[in-house]
Structure 1
């Protein structure tokens, strides 16, 4: 006759709890990535401004069986950073995911420790000679617009006003725009003037940032945010 061995309930629960603790400890003791890949999105050596966390790169690493994708979001000043394990990676600029001409060529990265990398892009338009001024309840920006690539046309330019350094279409307290139909000559400076709300006009300072929208391109290219002292 075969006897069945039944584990007492308390012992059974204790075994489950112990296994869970051991599994948790194994996860906690797993080494964290200590190497860092950081860099800038650049055109002619200068960083390209974008919408905060709106544009991303992809980093791919081939494992034992899988090709793993690691998304990396670009900060509004064109910088990025990713904590990774040492290894060989492929960095990819996504198609249709930035205010520049598509370039899906991969960039090979052999990471050992911390590495800095400039990722070149070709924007459709860039700003030049931008300057800012204030008036009575107003903030103005004057700039030149250079067309770098003629495969797409200009849609509009914007001046965004905000209360923090993060300024873009999703983070602003006011904006003014000028459509391409009102910009007949790119060789002439463009001026945009935003009227501040009563609450904004009472502030000690605001931030201003210019952006350019290319037809058929989802993301805008931006200048650096500027702190404008009102008092």
Structure 2
């Protein structure tokens, strides 16, 4: 009987502790500080796949580090709602169309802070322009090779009904393999033939992307609205 009594008391104590802990969490104030930033190369924001690339923010607690994942928007911006404090921001290895750099960035947050996170992409777009034809959309651009070790796999032109465009979100696309692009000083033109559904719209969106061999994520230009009518 004594053992059972002690066991029941222990259960009651554990349940009470859990309830109190839950109440403490519910009563904690919401974080009111914001960390906002951009992923940049030479001051220019880089485009990525929507919900495909992320950063990690770490904060030291009483006993260990707490990880806060932060997804990068497709326009290369990010934001996080946090409590005031000292954080470490990490660029994940193998997660982004740029050279790995796992150096941490110390962030002291008091209120709102804006931060540029520098990366070194393998390629970047230059002088991109868009045009329309009869049932077609074209993009012309040049590629600048930034990292000598980068091997061009392909370039793509994606079209669709919204400005969220990437390999997983599009209504059509066209590509050119890197093996056929021998001179990066010359402009590249990609022309996508629109489906009947897209061609019948007043407008579509278009976006270019570049894939580096052996790198999981693509780098993208800014989506462009193409008025068809």
TM-score (norm: length of structure 1): 0.90
Query: What is the aligned length?
Result: 221
Match of 1:192 among 190, 193, 196: 190
Shift, 1:181, TM fit: 1.5
Q: 1:107 — aligned with what?
A: 105
Q: 1:167 — aligned with what?
A: 165
Q: 2:51 — aligned with what?
A: 53
Gaps of 5+ in 2: 1-15
Shift, 1:30, TM fit: 1.4
Shift, 1:19, TM fit: 9.7
Residue 133 in structure 1 maps to residue 127 in structure 2: no
Match of 1:177 among 160, 175, 178: 175
Residue aligned with 2:179, SS: helix
User: Computing the radius of gyration over CA atoms, which structure comes out larger, 1 or 2?
Assistant: 1
Shift, 1:66, TM fit: 1.0
Match of 1:66 among 64, 67, 85: 64
The C-alpha deviation readout for 1:76-102, integer Å capped at 9, x for no partner, is: 000000011111000000011000011
The C-alpha deviation readout for 1:208-227, integer Å capped at 9, x for no partner, is: 00000000000000000000
Describe the shift of the 1:116–1:141 C-alpha distance in structure 2 as closer, same or farther (beyond 3 A): same
Shift, 1:27, TM fit: 3.6
The C-alpha deviation readout for 1:12-56, integer Å capped at 9, x for no partner, is: xxxxxx999877654432111111001000000010000011000
Shift, 1:178, TM fit: 0.1
Q: 1:209 — aligned with what?
A: 207
Superposed CA RMSD: 2.3
Q: 2:84 — aligned with what?
A: 86
CA distance in 1, matches of 2:166, 2:103: 28
Mapping 1:22-37, distance limit 5 Å: 26-37=24-35
CA distance in 1, matches of 2:119, 2:19: 49
TM-score (norm: length of structure 2): 0.91
CA distance in 1, matches of 2:121, 2:18: 52
